[in-house]
Amino acid sequence: MRPIQMVDTKNQYHKIKPEVDKAVIDVMESTAFINGRIVSDFSSNLAVYIGVKHCIPCANGTDALQIAMMALGLEPGDEVITPSFTYIATTEVIALLKLTPVFVEVDAKSFCMDPAALEKAITPKTKAIVPVHLYGQTTPMEAIMTIAGKHQLKVIEDNAQAIGGEYYFSDGRKMKSGSIGHIGTTSFYPSKNLGAFGDGGAIFTNDNAIAAKMKMIANHGQSRQYYHDIVGCNSRLDSVQAAILDIKLRHLDAYIAARIHVADAYDAAFANNPKIITPYRAPWCKHVFHQYTLQLEGFDMPAAFRDGLKEFLRSQGIPSMIYYPVPGHKQKMFEQFNVASQPMPVTDRLTEKVISLPIHTEMDNEQIDFITNKVLEYINQ
């Protein structure tokens, strides 16, 4: 059996090696390493794929969130509502910009921001909402956008984990995740569903004015060379990454299908086991399985049992991950905001129960069978 990895970027690369190698050499021959033609070509192609008017490439998914928040003209002390159960990048940029993060619960089934919790957290200081499409599942955006509209709040979708996902509106419309809020952001971190061979990110919007401002912010706030109208930053996607991503974008739907195939096989193997909750597939969206995350049920000490499973799997050559062991409201970084005082029972419980299994585009049935057998061996002991 081939060694099992959380992600297998090497074999994925080897399947498209001739195309990728040529594209990288073309960039080197052109020497247009920064802002080359391929960067605008890739951005246009990605805008078409996502279904938005503007795609602004940038250096990584964290910058994408920062630039998006800077473009909204928020003032220090303004509140930004976001789930506590997410990667730190989402929440860190809020604090970095001297805004106030307000953490809300996620729904225990979908792992996404709970619209009811969102509505309760809104105060006169609230200015923006950042739902996170965690593990590849889109947040119930119809409800989020309705609440945002009612309170005149801006919505930034953190789509780092769900690129290629689709949301189904109650009137039958379909939209790609990342295209529904006022702004969407994503990351091309190598392990992401659309991963570069280094860092990268992008920002999406249909709003011309916001797009123009975000372009300026990502480029030192300049309107034309050496004329800097607003404070910005330096955040670029380089041409080599854009060239690779442009090729991988053509394969993205196939990559997602391969991930869903793995998820289907895992689901089948774990079906009807009372101690395992397989990932919920919300009827409102297409889950693109950036992660395949189980919840373990019915144990007195869930974290100890879960950590034991992780250790057992490791001993069998199977990696696994805990995304995320410490929620935002318990991070030291946010102590100043007094967030730990708010009860977050759903989030706290999830941090003790979740475990993510390997899932990627290159997994074969032998690997999947080996993993599921080992998980069941431990769970059923």
Ligand X SMILES: Cc1ncc(COP(=O)(O)O)c(C=O)c1O
Binding site for ligand X (CB under 6 A): 60-62, 86-87, 89-90, 132, 158, 160-161, 187, 189, 199, 201
State how far the Cα of 246 lies from the Cα of 227, in Å rounded to an integer.
31
Question: What is the smallest separation between the CB atom of 125 and ligand X, expressed in angstroms?
Answer: 24
Question: What is the smallest separation between the CB atom of 108 and ligand X, expressed in angstroms?
Answer: 18
Our CB check for ligand X shows the closer of 62 and 110 to be 62
Our CB check for ligand X shows the closer of 59 and 102 to be 59
Question: What is the smallest separation between the CB atom of 328 and ligand X, expressed in angstroms?
Answer: 11
Our CB check for ligand X shows the closer of 276 and 359 to be 359
Beta-sheet strands, E only, within 130-230: 154-158, 166-168, 174-176, 183-187, 201-205, 222-224, 227-228
For residue 225, give the amino acid letter. Answer: Q
State how far the Cα of 261 lies from the Cα of 274, in Å rounded to an integer.
23
Question: What is the smallest separation between the CB atom of 59 and ligand X, expressed in angstroms?
Answer: 8
- Locus of tokens 């919790």: 117
Question: What is the smallest separation between the CB atom of 60 and ligand X, expressed in angstroms?
Answer: 4
Our CB check for ligand X shows the closer of 354 and 368 to be 354
> Which residue is closest to ligand X by CB?
61
36-42 long-range contacts (CB < 8 A, ≥24 apart) are 36/239, 36/242, 38/239, 38/242, 38/243, 38/246, 39/236, 39/237, 39/238, 39/239, 39/242, 41/242, 41/246, 42/237, 42/242, 42/243, 42/245, 42/246, 42/249
Our CB check for ligand X shows the closer of 89 and 113 to be 89
